[in-house]
Structure 1
Amino acid sequence: MTSVVEMTDEEGETRDPFGDDCIEVEESAMRKAAFPAVYLGRLKTRLDEFATAVTYGHNR
């Protein structure tokens, strides 16, 4: 992430954040990289719901 301070130099000139120096990631590579986080997030949600149901005796 870029802060406002990083976007300007000391002389007041601004730089283009979408210029030549950028990192591009293909969608398929991004999906592969994000899969574990998505999977574990969904698993955590299910475990939380299960633990809540067991603790408080609620059935969904």
Structure 2
Amino acid sequence: MEQVISRLGISPATARRDINKLDESGRLKKVRNGAEAISEQRPRWSPMNIHQGAKP
């Protein structure tokens, strides 16, 4: 967390709020005293992704 605060020049409250929002949106994983990048295991595009919203 300290690294985020110092690199971005933001307050601890802003860092916590932004990390919470990014965690909720699935863009990173919130961990004690900071966050971890999420490695994407599946491709962003696949036929399965396209057809999930289709009605039979």
Q: What is the TM-score normalised by the length of structure 2?
A: 0.30
* Bigger-Rg structure (1/2): 1
More helix by share: 1
More strand by share: 2
Which one scores higher on RCO, CA 8 angstroms, separation ≥ 6? 2
